[in-house]
């Protein structure tokens, strides 16, 4: 009878040696299989979680025709007020790069500012911008909302179709009265300085507009 050298026994008959080798291979597979499944499950977890996180970050919680990705704000040196620009893109557009979708020039004449703050909220269908100021005559706030499903901007008690113009002058006073005025649309890359220049050109005889100066802070 022929013999084959084996690690567990110096010499075994060939049939016994083959059986021993198969048993060792089976034991090896059994030992490594749990680790293999654990490693695979870890990779599956990463592949499942990562796309969800990326979708959430990209604004998939927002519904409607438009997705907003942020806001830009610049205070006025005089009078009390600010410029707010909403940035984002239209869904299913061929160009989904960030663009300026909404321009707001908020003005409150006749007050001296002591401090200010702002906040924004991008709900499923509505983006709301809120600016507030502390002045010598008390505190007040101005809120403007944009329904991205209907593409309607609400200022005070009035609604405006944004497609008719994406530029708005928002006038307010400390007693809570807020009014809005809509102007023809600006391009999608205009900054705060360009917006102010455009509004002043549109309203050359309005002293409350021509006297506006942007803060350099």
Q: Which residue has the higher pLDDT, 175 or 20?
A: 175
For residue 159, pLDDT over 70 is answered with yes
Checking if the pLDDT of 161 tops 50, the result is yes
What is the token pair recorded at 130?
A: 């809120």
Give the containing element (helix H, strand E) for 208. helix 207-210
- Cα gap 54→62, rounded to integer Å: 14
Helices (H), 58-180: none
Mean pLDDT score across all residues of the chain:
81
Minimal CA–CA distance to 182: which of 193, 197, 166, 196? 166
- Where exactly are the structural domains of the chain? 3-57, 66-214
Task: List, in sequence order, every beta strand (DSSP E) within 61-177.
Answer: 66-78, 80-90, 99-108, 113-122, 126-135, 138-147, 152-155, 158-161, 167-172
**Which two structure tokens, joined as six digits, stand for 87?**
């940035």
Using CA atoms, how far apart are residues 18 and 14, in angstroms rounded to an integer? 6
User: CA nearest 148: which of 168, 166, 130?
Assistant: 166
182-204 pLDDT per residue, tens: 999 999 999 999 999 999 999 99
- pLDDT digits 0-9 by tens, 35-92: 444 454 454 444 444 444 444 444 558 999 999 999 999 999 999 999 999 999 999 8
Check pLDDT > 70 for residue 99: yes
Cβ–Cβ < 8 Å for 39, 180: no
Give the residue-averaged pLDDT of 5-23.
46
Residue 83 phi/psi, 5° resolution?
-110, 130
**What span, in angstroms and rounded, lies between the C-alpha atoms of 152 and 163?**
8
What pLDDT, on the 0 to 100 scale, is given for residue 59? 53
What is the average pLDDT across 94-110?
Answer: 92
Position 175 scores a pLDDT of 77
């Amino acid at each position: 009878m022929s013999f084959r050298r084996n690690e567990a026994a110096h010499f075994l008959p060939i049939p016994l040696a083959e059986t021993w080798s198969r048993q060792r291979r089976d034991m090896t597979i059994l030992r490594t299989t749990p680790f293999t499944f654990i490693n695979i499950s870890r990779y599956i977890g990463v592949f499942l979680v990562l796309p969800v996180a990326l979708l959430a970050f990209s604004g998939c919680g927002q519904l409607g025709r438009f997705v907003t990705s942020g806001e830009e704000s610049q205070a006025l040196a005089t009078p009390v007020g600010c410029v707010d620009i909403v940035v984002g893109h239209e869904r299913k557009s061929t160009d989904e790069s960030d663009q300026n979708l909404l321009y707001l020039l908020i003005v409150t004449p006749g007050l001296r500012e002591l401090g200010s703050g702002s906040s924004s909220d991008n709900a499923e269908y509505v983006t709301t911008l809120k600016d507030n100021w502390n002045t010598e005559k008390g505190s007040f706030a101005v809120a403007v909302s944009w329904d991205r499903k209907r593409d309607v901007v609400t200022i005070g008690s009035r609604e405006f179709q944004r497609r008719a113009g994406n530029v708005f002058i928002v006038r307010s006073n400390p007693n809570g009265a807020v009014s809005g005025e809509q102007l023809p649309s600006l391009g999608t890359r205009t900054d705060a300085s360009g917006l102010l220049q455009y509004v002043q050109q549109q309203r050359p005889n309005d002293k409350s507009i021509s006297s506006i100066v942007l803060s350099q802070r």
